[in-house]
Every structure is written in structure tokens, then in C-alpha cells.
Structure 1
Amino acid sequence: MSGGLLTLGLKEDANTRLCTETERQALLDVKANLIDFHHLLDDWGSQEEMDCCKWVGVSCNNHTGHVTELDLGHVVEVNHFITFGYSFRGKISPSLQVLNQLQHLNLNYVDFQYNPLPEFWAFMSNLQRLHISGANLSGPIPYQLANLSTLLHLDLSHNYLMGSIPFFFGDFTSLTYLDLSGNQLRGVIPNSFGNFSSLAHLDLSQNLINGSLPNFARCSSLINMSVAHNYLNGRMPNFTRCTLLKNIDLSNNFLSGNVPKSVGELSNLEFLDVGHNFLNESMPNFIGCPSLWFLDMSSNELSGNVPKSLGQVSKLRLLDFSSNFLKGVISEVHFLNLTHLDYLDLSFNSLELNLSFHGKFPSQLSTINLQSCKLGPRFPMWIKTQKFFIHLDISNASISDDIPTWFWGLSSRLKFINLSSNDLKGMLPDMGYLMQFFDGYPGMDLSNNRLEGRVPFLPALAALNLSGNKFSGTLSFLCKIDGCLTFLDLSNNSFSGSLPDCWLNFQGNLVVLRLSNNNLSGPIPSSLGFLSNLESLYLRTNSFFGEVPKSLNNCTRLKFVDLSENKLSGVIPEWIGENLSKLYVLVLGSNNFKGMLPSQICWLSNLQVLDVSYNGLSGNIPRCFDNFTAMGRRSIGDNMTKHLYYSSVPNDVPSLQCLGLSLLDIDHDDKLDAHCGGQLQEAYYLDNTWVTWKGTERSFERSGLQLLKTIDLSRNNLSGNIPHEITSLFELVSLNLSMNKLHGEVSEDVGWLKSLESLDLSRNEFSGQIPWSLAQLNFLSYLDLSFNNLSGRIPTGSQLQRFNYTSYIGNLQLCGPPLTPQCGFPPILEKKYVEEDEDDFWESYYTSMGAGFSVGFLGLSGALIFNRSCRYFFFASLSHMKDWIYVTVVVHLGRLERKFRR
């Protein structure tokens, strides 16, 4: 608010100035400490305007001339610069303390460059409103703020403030507004917060606060309270005396127990969000909340039935009970008077919807989420009354029926529809005529049903999933789909023919392309190289032939490539390693690739899965595998496996390059829009892959794929040794080099692969002994060393003897359990490889050795007495044997003694 608004009634001549010179100079110092990007403060100190009370953002007392308000945040908002970045940057001037009559200080959205809050607040004892939100402040909240006993409003939200919640807020008996949200504050909320009898607005959301919530029994003035997105635990507090409460947000914490009965009796309550906690009792009754319009109890552990009285809460607009353990039947009674209901989500419960509605549903819903509820077996007829829905998800709803023709013409506002994982039958109608009336580019998921026939004309879509059906015919329809398509999954169908060469239409938009498990053939078209935003490419299990098109080196955002089980030929291109640096999965197995595995593959430092099995590769394994650094460290997060795409796109946004939008400072209406998806709907796709795991083919997805780190070079013509560099991949869980022509000894360093669970070196030409370090791999649960030239004794220990003998067969010079009962004379062992589990072997060995030694010694002693040459031979041999006898007996004698005592 500018000074002119407060001084209009003052009688003064043109030469009269209100502000004092001291405060004028203080304001000029405030300006001097700021960079004014948009010249908003140009009138400060100008020759035309010497009176600081008339400067923009400054207000003064009409009688004393002292500055009472400094509002730079309002200056920014009025000029709309907050949308495009900061208008001011710098630091908080210490001259502010000169303005000791200041009552209102607003420095919202001034970039203070991660500097801490100053400590001079003791000199500003008249301050009533302090707003420094979104200002890049850091450090602790200074304790000097406790001196501001007259403070009414305090907003330090959306900064980087840290430390514990300060106890001194108990001194703010007059405080009515407190917002510390969006910081990094820790510790517990002091019990004194529950005694703020004047507090009307409390927001501590989006911090790191733990402990339990205080009792708010004395907060009789409280209207808005949010502690969402923290680490709070314990039970919900009792709000019996908080009769003015309108908005409660406790979501995304660790609260347990029930929702207190008192919450259902708050007659002014409008907004309640307790979603994403661990509330685990029955659903409360909200009949005493006639003003309630927003009710979110999703992602908890609530059980029991949904009370029928819910149908009396007539102002409800949003109802979300998803992801709980609710059960029972939902009938018309539950929606009897919900004439304003707009958003309905009952998904992921054990609910059965029995809605006949002879007339029509009481309201027009924009969002209908009923995933995993029982709606079938017939297609739900009550949906016919819905003409304006934006989002519809009735997947996995036990529907076994045809999709009625009326369904496709219901809503022109459609953004996303999901009918997947039902038992829907029949053919799709030609929707080209209907889709021309849609207000944008919707997403459609009809996967995992029994739909069949050719795919009709589908001109305007943002996402399409038809996988797991019986569709047939060619893919020529793709060339008629509008270029806004960001996600396409046609896998696990019966499509045939060649891949159309019209991918230029989708350049810059398509993120995920899945065509696996069809009957497609022909070469991979070079126009796929136009998909510059492509991150996942699945062409597995088709009959594509020819070379991998070089144009794919333009798809530099690719993270996941699976071209396996085709008829591709030529060499594995070097440009894969040179250009596709983001790859974390590369599967080229079961093709006809020849030549050497290029060393450029090692440039893929993010690679976690490499499968080039079942090809005709030759030459040595590259010695640069230690460059696969992602296989040598633990994965954090799932950023590699997750792909962001848009399940709906507005009609006026033709390219993803225009979709860099975000919502700031959403209010309650905006939160409803966010639930309903708004105009844009983002979605995430998580990769999955098939790999040969412990001898069988298995699918990995989500978190399993994130942890999977595997190399499969099996069934090729590779030769040479196993490169020592492989042993540096400490997080490798599966290594398959079987059915090649590899030779040499298996390095003792294989024991460095401590995470290894599966190792297959079978059907090669390896020689020498099995490394003793293999017995130290605690996670190893699959081992195949069969059909090599290995020799010697199988190392004893807790691991290797529990594998079946088939893990070792085909090595003619290999012996010991589990292949043979025993071996010959045991070798000298290093102590680190001696295990307690060897006792059974040594017990029988020493017993037989003792008996044999006694008999042999009696026979030998006679010869020693009568034959000089025998005496010489015996003592010479004994000299060479004494070291081995001593070492062996000392190491095992103690164990043998303990064994006999049992």
C-alpha cells in the first residue's frame, strides 16, 4: 500500500514533508542493499519526490510522520513480477531497525540469497505484521523475535529456515496468524501452541517436524490449521472447543488411531484432509458437518463400512476414501443428497457399488475413480447419466460385458478414461466423428481385456494403451493419430505387417513406445529417429529384421531399449555407447548380431542391465566393464525407471515444449482443480523388463528393476578370459557368461562380487580349480559351472555344498561333495578359507588317518630296524611332511576335540 493512500486527508502545502530525515536515509539504505531489476523503486530519493511517505510501498503516520508500513511484497504482486521471477535481490539492511515505529513489514518474494534472518528485532517493538515469505532465507529463526510481543501476523513460509521449532512462540499471546510452512524446521511442536487463544491461522506444513500434536482445546479462535507433510505421529488431537474451525489439513504424516468424534461435530468445518496417514479404525460420522465440502481420507488403514449418513452432508464437492480397507455395499442412500458432488474416489477398497438410480445420479461428476471396486458383471448403467466427466477410471471392476455404444458419446470434456483389467469384449467403434468434439487430447487405457478386431480411427489422443487384448491387423491407423501422442502401448496383441514410417508426426512428444509381443515384421523404420523425447523403446518378440537404424542415435533421451527376440542382424552399433548416454537398460538378446561387442558400450556409465545373449558375437569381452559405474554402486530413487508423460493435453498446446507449467500458492478451489486434474494431467510410466534370472526368464518391474544389475553375454562365440575389470562391479546381482568359448582360470577375485545372487559360467572351456572365494558369496543362490575343464576339490563351506550336483557335472577332474563323496589327499589350506562346516569331513579323515597310520607304522618299523636305506628314506620323507602335518593338525585339532565332546 503506497503512502499516498494514508495521507490524502492531511492539510499541507507543497513544501511540507512528513517523513523524518533519519527514516528517509534508512529507507535509502534499504534500497541500496537491493538490486531493483524492474526499477520499481525509482521514485525513492528522486528530485521530484523527496517525501518518503509518498514513495511506493511506504506508508506513514498522518500526525507524526514516522514510517509505519514498508510493503515491498505488495509492490511485486501489484506489478505481477512474481510470476516471472524475483524483482529484488540483495540482503536485509540493518538500517531497518531505525524504523522503530514500523507496524507492518512485507518483504515477500525478495531474494535474500540464502542469508539468515537478522537479529535486530528487539528495536522494532511496535511491529504487528511481519511477512517474509518465499525470500530464500536460511539458518535458524532468531530468538530475538520473542521480543515482538505485539506481533499479530508472522509469515516466514517457503524459505530454507532450519532448526527446532522455537519455544519462545509461547510469548506471542496476541498472535492471530502464524505461517512457517515450506521450511526445514525440525523437532516437536511445543505444547504452548495449544494455548494460543487468539490464534486463527496456523500453518506448519512441509517441514521435518516429528512427535505428536499438542492439545488444541484452548484454541477457541482457530479457523485454519495445517501441519501436512511432516513426520508427526500419535493420535489426532481433540478439537472439541475449536468450534470456529473451517479448514484442517493433517495429510501426509504418520498419525494413527481414529478420527475423533469431535471432528464430526464441527458445524463450521469446510475442509478436512487426513489422507496419507495410518488411521486404522472405522469411518467416522460427519453428519454434524453441514458445511463440509472437501473430505479426503485416502491412503490410510480405515476399515468397516461407509456410513449411510454420508449422504446427508449435502455440500460435499470432493470425496476421497481411496486406498483403505473399507468394505460393504455402496448404494443410492450414500449419495442421496450429494447434489454438489464433483470428485468421487473410492478406488482400492473392497467395496461393491450397487447403484441403479432409476432417475439419474444426484450430481454431475467431473472425476470418477472406482478402480478395484466391484461394479460388474454388467456395464454400470448409471454412468449413462454422467455427461460432463473429465476423468473416469473403472479399471479392475469385475465388468464382463460389451462396451455399450452410448458410452463413447457421453462427455466432450473427457481428459482420461481407464477401463483396463476387466473382461470387456467386442470391437471398438469408429470414434473419429465423436473425438472431433473433445475439448483437447484425452488419454485412453483399455488394456488387459478381450477386445478384438482392427483398431478404428482415433485421431486426437495424448496417451493410448491397448496392450493385452486381441487386436489384429496393421498399424496403419497410427499415421492418422494427431501428433500430441505422448504414450503408446500396443504390446501383447496380434498386430502384423510392417511398422509404419510416419513417426515424424510424433517428434518432440512421444515418450514411451511399446510394441512388444506382436507379429510385426520388416525393418525398423528410420523415422523413429525423429522421436527426440523418446525415453522407452520396446520392440521385443516380433520379427523385425535388418540392422538397427542409425537414425536412433538422435534419440539421446533414451533410457530403456529392448529389441530382443527379433531377427535383427549386422553388428551392435558403436553409436549406442557414443550417443545414448542415459541408457540404463539395453536388451538386444535373441537376434542375429555378429562381430565383436564394441568397446564403446562401456561408455554407458548408467547401464544396469546389459543383455546381448543368444547372438553370434565373437572376440574377447571388452576389458572396460569397470566403466559401468552404476553396477558398482547402490541405486537411490527410481528416476531412471520413471518416465513422465502427459495423459491429457489441452487443445491449444500442440507440443510438450509448451507444457512447462506449475501451480503456485493454490487455495482450496485450486486444490479441488488439482484433484480433478485441471487441464493438464501428468502421469508416470515405470519400466519393466524380462531377463534370464537363475536359469529361467522372469519379469522385473518397479523397485525390482531399480535394484536389478545384471550382465548376460550367454550363447555367443565369445573367447578369451573373463576380464578382471568385471570384479569391480560390486553391486552386480547376476552374471551369465554360459555357452561361449571362454577359457583360462576363474579369478579368485570373483569373491569381490559380494552382491552376486546368480552366476552361470557353464559350457565354456574354463580350467583350473574353483576359486575358494566363491564359498564366501553369502547371497549366491544359483550357480552353474557345469561342462567346463575345472579340476580339483570343490571348495567346502556353507554355500557351495548346498547346490545340486548338476551345477558341477561335466568337469571330469572335479571332485568332492556334492559331485562325489570325497577327493584324494587334501591341499594345504589358507586359514581364511577354513570353515566350521568342514568338521564332518576332517573328523572322518583324521579317524581313518589314525588307524591307517598305526597299521602302517608297525609294518614299516620292521623294515627300519633291518634295512639302513629304508631308515634314511623314512626320516628324509618325514622331514618334508612335518610342516604339513603340523599345520593341518594344529588348525583342526581343536575343532575335532569339540566335535567328539558333543
Structure 2
Amino acid sequence: MKTLSGIVLLVILLALPFIGSAVQLQHDKVPNVSCIKSELKALTKFREVLIDHSNRLSAWVGEDCCTWTGVDCSNKTGRVLKLDLRNPILFNLAMYITYDNYTTYHERARLQGEINPSILDLKHLNYLNLSNNDFSSMKQMPSFLGSLKNLRHLDLSNSFFEGQVPYHLGNLSRLQYLNLHMNSLHGPIPDAIGSLASLTFLDLSNNFFDISLMPNWVCRLNSLSHLDLNSMTFLGSIPPCLENLTSLAVLNLSTNSFQGSIPSEMGNITQLIVLDLSYNELENEIPRTIQNLCNLQCFYLSYNNFSGEVPFFVRNTSTCLQKSLKALHLGSNYFSGFLPNHLGEFENLDHLLLRSNSFSGRIPISLGRLSSLKWLDISDNQLNGSIPSSIGQLPKLERLDISSNLLSGVVSERHFVNLTMLRELSMSWNLLKMKVGNQWVPPFQLRFIRMASCELGPQFPPWLQTQRLVEVLIISEASISDTIPDWFENVYSHINYLNISHNQIRGKLPKFQESYGLNRELILNSNEFEGPLTPFPSNVVVLDLSNNSLSGHIPLNDGSRNAILEVLLLSKNRLSGGIPTYLCEIKTMRFIDLSNNKLSGGLPSCVGDLYRLEVLDLWNNSLYGEIPNSLGSLRQLNSLRLRKNKFHGKFPISMQNLTYLHILDLGKNELTNFIPPWIGEKLRNLKFLAFDYNELYGDIPPQLCQLSDLQVLNLAHNNITGPIPRCFGKFFGMVVNHGLEEHVKYGVDINYEESFELVTKGREFVVFI
């Protein structure tokens, strides 16, 4: 699920390189100097081949092009110096409420079409920014740009260019800034780029260049202060020659496949402020020379293969990094051992991410001294003991994640006393008990609350009613044995993600109000809710009410109203009546589980219209009639379970189209037919096949032996005759231990459990697959 905060972070990262340049454009226009007529003509031609859906260039009228949007001229000569037509929506995201709205406005604001060669008549042009537009119709980046000899700044990032980078760009001897980020460029990077000796900023990231090793010419660009080669698919080692780039302040080599060690020579690039080596395959010790980088503020090493204790510069109590570092990311490696208590001496840290390692021992008390800390993530480790109350002394802390550890003990009001800026609290999957007063008013307003498995009950936590800005609330397995309080609907009826599953919450279902914004997920399964199933909001994508005591009919509704629903889980309730046909109108549906209810009637043939459906589970109801032929249209279906109903008749021959099926369970019905040979010939992905307790007859077709992945085959209690095919001894999938607890997962906290009923020696039992 995409959140607005996630999009804002992406936009900030994309916008950083442009901010300084944008400031330069904000000088006053001088009305006494008009543009040159030849340049007016050139810009007019340039405009003619552009498609401008949002009318961004509607002000390009009149005789003075120096007053036009995005055009800047010399105050003395009237010559066009700068042309800035970047997509402005990138800088105004805050005015758009939702991600969908943002996408709509951003796409509409993109200029489309071609870059006209008339731009070459702007002889004095030194700044060209066409970023975040759509020039896909050109395919290739125009080579004539290499003739703009005065160009110092060229930004074509995120503009849908394909093909190769023209070697003509090497002619731009004055170029200082080159940004080709996030296009679809491929082929080799021309060596001519290495001749741009004046370059201070180079960003080639997020393209598809056909290269494996970093080109040697990179190390010759001695003037570079910013080098971004993120997502370039580099292999091999990081070249030690990067030490030649002594002016580098920002080096981003993340999301490649660099292997081996960090070269010790990197400690010689003493001007580095940002060093990003995350998402590679680096290993071994981090060289001690890193502690020479006394200007380093952001050091990103997450998602590599580093192991052993925390790096030397963290253990060393006398390194200059203790004063310079603001962000340290070591997450998703193989570090182990204790966290040193002097972590609190990195006095300027505002981001400390150590998640997904094997750190053990206690959380250092000294972390409470990191007065600048905004983000602390030590989740998914093996930390134990209690949470030190000093954590509550971090006045700037916005995000705290201590989930998935072995922490225990009581969490009290002292742990939050000064956390006035806290917006995200994640404490799930520990052995913690939260004990605060009924009248406690937290000093923060949270947006994200993740406290699965924390003992919050038995009362529904009263302090939650003070949190008026919550977007995500996860309090599953929280030992709550209570009814939904009256204030809940007022505070949480518009929430985007709610998970209160696996408690003992009783009474009627809460009402959820319609809201505008992001798609919503409501997870209320495994409680004691009773009464009718009420209509749910139209922007719900996931609805899980399984394993409750809901009764009555599935409410009649307008399917178009819930046109984005993907997951509907209502199993293990007491629902009755028929399957409403409006479900067939929800074309986005992927999972339907209505099993273990009291549903009756036939299976609507319109179910075949749900072309995205992956799971259809109607096990253990009282449905009857023939299996509709339309099921053969569900070509994405992975699991079909109609067990324990009263279906009769033959297998629809159309089911041979269900080639993605892994599970087919039609046991305990009243089917009368022979076993079709096409099951073995067409449904080659089957792993679990059950036709037991029906009225099938005839021989077992030897074509079933073609089901090489089959793990379970149940044909018991039918009228089948003839010999068992000798080729049954070749079901090698049955002799491999696959485990019994593989789950089909959806979303963040959704686990849809596939199960299979077996009968052995007269005993029935269910295995989860």
C-alpha cells in the first residue's frame, strides 16, 4: 500500500539535486530588455512540437520571450540563458491529497512530444532543464544537444528517453551538471563523458546500461562533487581509483552487485558527506580508514553481507565520526554481538537504522542522550531485556521501531514522557506489556501504531482515543477482551489500515465511514464479533472478517460501489443465504474465501467474470447444483476448493483451461463422472488433488502420472474400478518434504492459509499448506 509519506520521501530524494539550481532562476525580470527576434522564433518553433495538456506554456505569447514561463535572459543583452521546463508538480505535491491525485496531476503536467532542433539557435543557452516530462516519442536522446557549446547545466532526468547516450555530449566542454537519472537508456556509456573535465555533478542512475564494470573514465573526473551511479547493475569490486575524486561530497553506488570489500582507499576521499553503498553484495570488515572521513554525515551500508561485530568506527570511542555522523544505516546485514553503550556519544545522529541483523543483549541506555535522533530502528534482531526508560528522553524522535526482538517487561508512561514529536511507534512481536493509567494522555499524535502481540488488554486501550491522526493501527494478538468502545467509530472510522485480529473483541462490528484517499485494509478476523455483516466502505481493498460469529445473509450491495475490492475473507462464520451476484461485478477480486459457513443455493455462473481471481474457497457450505462451465474462464485461478458441499453432475470440460491451478479440491460432493484424462494433460501445476467421497466411476486415467509436482492425491470412497496405474510410483513430489505450513500471503499482515483435509485410517485431519 502506497502512503503519502512514502511518496513525499521519494519526491524529496528526486528533488534534492534541483533545489540549488531552482534558486538561481528566481531573479527579477528586467522589463527594459527584450529577447532577440531570432531566439523568439526558435522558442516558438520549440513550442509548436510540444503537447501541453495542462497549458503550462499558455503564457508563451507576445513579442518578449524573456517574460515567458521558464525562460530567463541576460539583463544586458536579452539573450536567452536559461530554459527551465521541468514538471512543476514535483515541487507541489503537498497540495494533492492522495497518491492517485498526485499521479493524475503529475502525468497531466508532463510536456510531451519532441525537442525541436530550433533550440540550437539559442546560442548563449547555458542552462537546460526538461526533467520529468515525456519525450518517449523521440526514442533516442537527440544528438544535436551536443552542439549547445555554452551549456553548463543539462537535466533530462525522468523524461522517458530510450536508446544510447549520444557521444556528442562529450562536446559540451563547459558542462558542469549532467543528470540523466531514471530513463530507459541502454548500451554502453560513451567514453566521451569522461572528457567532461568541468563536471561537478553526474547522475546516470536508474537506467539499463549494458555494462558490468564501472568504466575507468569515471576516476578521471577530478572535479566531481556529486556522483550517483545507483541501480546500474555493476559487478565486481568497487575500483580503488575512486580515491582520485578528492572533491567528492556525495557518492552513491547503491543497488548494484558490487562484491568483496570496501576499498581502504575510500578513506582518502576526505570531503565525503554522503556515502551510499547499500543494496550490494559487499562483505568482510569495513576498513578502519573510514574513520578518516571527518566530514561524513550520511553512511548507508544496509542490505549487504557484512558480518561480525559492529564496525570499528562504532566501537572506537575517539573517532571524529562521533561528531560528524547524522545518519548511520547498517540494516539487513549479518552483524552480531552487543550494541556498544557509547552509541550515545554520536551526538549529532538523527537516523540510526540497525534493523534485520543478529544483535543481542540489551538496548544501550546511552541512546537516550542522542538528543537529535529522529529515527531509531533496531527491529528484527535478538535484543532482550527491558526497554530503557531513557528512550523517553528523545525530544526529536519521530519514528521508533523496536519490533521483532526478544524484549520483555513493562512499558510505562516514562518511556514516552518527552516524545512530543513521535509519529510512528512499532513495538510488535516482543513480550511486552503496556501499563499506563486510564487517564493517560500521550504527549504525541501518532500516525502509525504497530503493537501486535503487545499485551494491551483486557480493556480496549483508552489512550488510543487521544490519537486523532492515525492512518495505521495494528493491535492484533493484544489480549484485548472487550467490546468496541463508543469513541472508536469517531476516531478510527476513516482509518486506512486497521488490524485488531486475534483478540477476544465481542459485540457488533464497528461502522466504517466513507473516506477519500488511499485504499483501505480492514483486518478484524479471529475475534467474537456477532450479528449481521454490514456494508463496508467503497475504497476497501482487503476485508478480513473470518473466524467470528457473524450471521445472516451477505448483504446485497452494488458491486460497482466496491469496485476495488481484491480480498474478501469471510470464512468460519455463520453466514447463510446465497452467494450474492453483485460480487461478480467486482472485477478486481483476487481472493474469495467464504468457507465454513451455512451458505446455500447454486454457485452463480457470473463468477467466471472475475478474470483476476486467484483463490476461490467455498469449502464446507450447503451449496448445490452443477459446477458452472464459466469457471473455465478463471485462467489466473491458483486454488479452487468446493469441498463439503452438494455439487452434482460432471466436471466442466472448460476447467482444463485452469492451467495455473495448484489446488483442486472437489471432495465430499455428489459428482458423478469418470476422472477426465485432461486433468493430467492440462493441469500440470497441480500439487493437491482431491475427489474423495463422490460417485466417480471407471478407471484411474494413467495421464494423472503427468502431474509431476503432485504431493497429495485423494480418490477414496468412490466407485472407481480397475488397477492402480504402475506409473504412480513416479510421483516424486510425494517423497520430498515440502513442509506443512506454506502460506499464500497478501499485503502487509494478511496470511491466507491454504488447508487440505486428509483422511487416514478413518480419522480426518486438516493440514495447512
TM-score, structure 2 normalization: 0.77
Task: Tell me, in whole angstroms, the C-alpha distance in 2 between the residues paired with 1:2 and 1:408.
Answer: 44
Matches within 5 A, 1:129-168: 129-134=126-131, 136=133, 138=135, 139=138, 140-149=140-149, 151-168=151-168
Task: Tell me, in whole angstroms, the C-alpha distance in 1 between the residues paired with 2:454 and 2:279.
Answer: 34
In the alignment, is residue 415 of structure 1 matched against residue 321 of structure 2? no
Task: Tell me, in whole angstroms, the C-alpha distance in 2 between the residues paired with 1:159 and 1:790.
Answer: 61
Q: Deviation of residue 507 (structure 1)? A: 5.4
Which of residues 55, 59, 63 in structure 1 aligns to 2:74?
A: 59
What's the counterpart of residue 559 of structure 1? 541
Task: Tell me, in whole angstroms, the C-alpha distance in 2 between the residues paired with 1:615 and 1:205.
Answer: 53
Q: Deviation of residue 454 (structure 1)? A: 6.0
Cα contact 2:345–2:370 (8 A) shared by 1: yes
What residue ranges of structure 1 are gaps of 5+ in the alignment?
A: 9-16, 86-108, 311-329, 632-708, 823-836, 841-902
Letter in 2 for 1:119: P
Cα contact 1:371–1:396 (8 A) shared by 2: yes
Task: Tell me, in whole angstroms, the C-alpha distance in 2 between the residues paired with 1:486 and 1:273.
Answer: 31
Q: Deviation of residue 128 (structure 1)? A: 6.0
What's the counterpart of residue 602 of structure 1? 584
Task: Tell me, in whole angstroms, the C-alpha distance in 2 between the residues paired with 1:495 and 1:484.
Answer: 22
Q: Deviation of residue 624 (structure 1)? A: 0.8
For 2:254, what is the secondary structure of its paired residue? coil
Matches within 5 A, 1:272-671: 272-280=275-283, 282-284=285-287, 285-302=289-306, 308=312, 310=313, 331-333=315-317, 338-352=322-336, 354=338, 357=341, 361-373=345-357, 376-404=360-388, 406-407=389-390, 409-430=392-413, 438-440=419-421, 442-452=423-433, 456=437, 457=440, 459=442, 460-475=445-460, 477=462, 480-506=465-491, 509-525=494-510, 527-529=511-513, 535-550=520-535, 552=536, 555-575=537-557, 577-631=559-613
Task: Tell me, in whole angstroms, the C-alpha distance in 1 between the residues paired with 2:606 and 2:29.
Answer: 75
Q: 1:366 to 1:810 in 2, by over 3 A?
A: same
For 1:383, what is the secondary structure of its paired residue? helix
Cα contact 1:190–1:214 (8 A) shared by 2: no
For 1:186, what is the secondary structure of its paired residue? strand
What's the counterpart of residue 784 of structure 1? 690
Cα contact 2:301–2:331 (8 A) shared by 1: no
Letter in 2 for 1:385: R
Matches within 5 A, 1:665-814: 709-776=614-681, 777-797=683-703, 798-799=705-706, 807-811=714-718, 813-814=719-720
Q: Deviation of residue 741 (structure 1)? A: 1.2
What residue ranges of structure 2 are gaps of 5+ in the alignment?
A: 1-23, 94-106, 731-769
Task: Tell me, in whole angstroms, the C-alpha distance in 1 between the residues paired with 2:29 and 2:524.
Answer: 71
When structure 1 is superposed on structure 2, of 501-510 and 750-759 the one drifting more is 501-510
What's the counterpart of residue 269 of structure 1? 272
Q: Deviation of residue 258 (structure 1)? A: 4.3
Q: Deviation of residue 252 (structure 1)? A: 2.7
Task: Tell me, in whole angstroms, the C-alpha distance in 2 between the residues paired with 1:789 and 1:234.
Answer: 63
Cα contact 2:697–2:720 (8 A) shared by 1: yes
Cα contact 2:131–2:155 (8 A) shared by 1: no
Cα contact 1:443–1:461 (8 A) shared by 2: yes
Q: Deviation of residue 817 (structure 1)? A: 4.4
Cα contact 1:609–1:710 (8 A) shared by 2: yes
Task: Tell me, in whole angstroms, the C-alpha distance in 2 between the residues paired with 1:806 and 1:176.
Answer: 68
For 1:228, what is the secondary structure of its paired residue? coil
Q: Deviation of residue 411 (structure 1)? A: 2.0
Q: Deviation of residue 222 (structure 1)? A: 3.1
Letter in 2 for 1:187: G
Cα contact 1:133–1:158 (8 A) shared by 2: no
Task: Tell me, in whole angstroms, the C-alpha distance in 2 between the residues paired with 1:510 and 1:417.
Answer: 21
Q: Deviation of residue 239 (structure 1)? A: 2.6
For 2:386, what is the secondary structure of its paired residue? coil
Cα contact 1:412–1:439 (8 A) shared by 2: yes
Letter in 2 for 1:365: L
Task: Tell me, in whole angstroms, the C-alpha distance in 2 between the residues paired with 1:40 and 1:745.
Answer: 70
In the alignment, is residue 250 of structure 1 matched against residue 253 of structure 2? yes
Q: 1:342 to 1:201 in 2, by over 3 A?
A: closer
**Deviation string, structure 1 residues 383-411 (Cα, Å, up to 9, x no partner):** 2333443222223443332334x336312
Cα contact 1:209–1:232 (8 A) shared by 2: no
For 1:202, what is the secondary structure of its paired residue? strand
Q: 1:39 to 1:730 in 2, by over 3 A?
A: closer
For 1:768, what is the secondary structure of its paired residue? coil
Letter in 2 for 1:807: N
What's the counterpart of residue 186 of structure 1? 186
When structure 1 is superposed on structure 2, of 476-485 and 584-593 the one drifting more is 476-485
Task: Tell me, in whole angstroms, the C-alpha distance in 2 between the residues paired with 1:802 and 1:594.
Answer: 37
What's the counterpart of residue 664 of structure 1? none
For 1:472, what is the secondary structure of its paired residue? coil
**Deviation string, structure 1 residues 642-676 (Cα, Å, up to 9, x no partner):** xxxxxxxxxxxxxxxxxxxxxxxxxxxxxxxxxxx
Q: Deviation of residue 763 (structure 1)? A: 1.2
Q: What do you get for the CA RMSD once the two structures are aligned?
A: 4.1
What's the counterpart of residue 117 of structure 1? 115
When structure 1 is superposed on structure 2, of 239-248 and 34-43 the one drifting more is 34-43
Letter in 1 for 2:74: S
Q: Deviation of residue 721 (structure 1)? A: 0.7
Cα contact 1:738–1:761 (8 A) shared by 2: yes
What's the counterpart of residue 214 of structure 1? 215
Cα contact 1:472–1:494 (8 A) shared by 2: yes
What's the counterpart of residue 200 of structure 1? 200
Q: Deviation of residue 620 (structure 1)? A: 0.9
Task: Tell me, in whole angstroms, the C-alpha distance in 2 between the residues paired with 1:230 and 1:176.
Answer: 22
For 1:194, what is the secondary structure of its paired residue? helix
Cα contact 1:482–1:505 (8 A) shared by 2: no
Cα contact 1:226–1:250 (8 A) shared by 2: yes
Radius of gyration: which is bigger? 1
For 2:486, what is the secondary structure of its paired residue? coil
Q: 1:544 to 1:19 in 2, by over 3 A?
A: closer
Matches within 5 A, 1:810-889: 810-811=717-718, 813-818=719-724
Q: Deviation of residue 110 (structure 1)? A: 14
What's the counterpart of residue 225 of structure 1? 227
Task: Tell me, in whole angstroms, the C-alpha distance in 1 between the residues paired with 2:651 and 2:26.
Answer: 84
Letter in 1 for 2:276: D
Task: Tell me, in whole angstroms, the C-alpha distance in 1 between the residues paired with 2:640 and 2:386.
Answer: 48
Q: 1:618 to 1:455 in 2, by over 3 A?
A: farther
For 2:178, what is the secondary structure of its paired residue? strand
Letter in 2 for 1:213: M
Q: 1:206 to 1:496 in 2, by over 3 A?
A: same
**Deviation string, structure 1 residues 784-840 (Cα, Å, up to 9, x no partner):** 1111111111111314799799712211x212344xx89xxxxxxxxxxxxxx5999
Q: 1:506 to 1:431 in 2, by over 3 A?
A: farther
Q: Deviation of residue 356 (structure 1)? A: 5.6
Cα contact 1:419–1:446 (8 A) shared by 2: yes
Letter in 1 for 2:650: E
Identical positions, percent? 26
For 1:461, what is the secondary structure of its paired residue? coil
What's the counterpart of residue 860 of structure 1? none
Q: Deviation of residue 565 (structure 1)? A: 1.4
For 1:529, what is the secondary structure of its paired residue? coil
Q: Deviation of residue 4 (structure 1)? A: 12
